């Protein structure tokens, strides 16, 4: 196989992958959008029956709205991740507070010396 044919085949392969990605993106956006059920059915039918024309017309007609919905979804995901990190990172008590509680338990006799040392090592690790 000549080198030019290999490059040509690779180009078509990657164009096919990009086309599949574009179709999936358009279908996801169709069902994420706030248009009516009949509108979603119409766009889906149009994209399935005339794929190239349907996708390009959808991108021209709804390209800005697609971008806005994707940005809103990304911001929502980022906010959820930030909230999760804050909830996990902020356990409510610091290591010093936990050590003070352990010390109080040890002083009151509720923890043995071995238990106190094990819990202290666990906290400081």
Specify the pTM. Answer: 0.59
In degrees rounded to 5, what are phi and psi of residue 111? -120, 140
Q: Residue 24 pLDDT > 80, yes or no?
A: yes
Q: Residue 80 pLDDT > 80, yes or no?
A: yes
Mean pLDDT, to the nearest integer, of 78-91?
A: 83
Q: What is the pLDDT of residue 95?
A: 79
Q: What is the pLDDT of residue 38?
A: 95
Largest CA distance in the chain: 85
Q: Using CA atoms, how far apart are residues 124 and 122, in angstroms rounded to an integer?
A: 6
pLDDT category at 81 given cuts 50, 70, 90 is very high
In degrees rounded to 5, what are phi and psi of residue 16? -65, -45
Q: Using CA atoms, how far apart are residues 22 and 16, in angstroms rounded to an integer?
A: 10
Q: What is the pLDDT of residue 92?
A: 63
DSSP state, residue 109: T
Reported as a single tens digit per residue, the pLDDT across 3-23 is 889 999 999 999 999 999 999
Proportion of the chain above pLDDT 70, given as a percent? 96
pLDDT category at 109 given cuts 50, 70, 90 is confident
CB 40, CB 48: distance < 8 Å: no
């Amino acid at each position: 196989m000549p080198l030019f044919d290999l490059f040509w085949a690779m180009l078509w392969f990657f164009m096919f992958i990009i086309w599949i990605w574009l179709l999936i993106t358009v279908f996801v956006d169709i069902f994420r959008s706030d248009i009516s059920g009949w509108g979603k059915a119409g766009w889906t039918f149009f994209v399935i029956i005339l794929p190239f024309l349907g996708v390009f017309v959808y991108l021209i007609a709804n390209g800005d709205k697609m971008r806005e919905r994707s940005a809103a979804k990304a911001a929502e995901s980022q906010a959820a991740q930030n909230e999760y990190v804050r909830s996990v990172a902020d356990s409510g008590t610091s290591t010093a507070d936990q050590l003070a509680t352990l010390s109080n338990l040890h002083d009151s006799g509720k923890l043995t010396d071995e238990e106190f040392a094990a819990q202290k090592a666990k906290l400081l690790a």
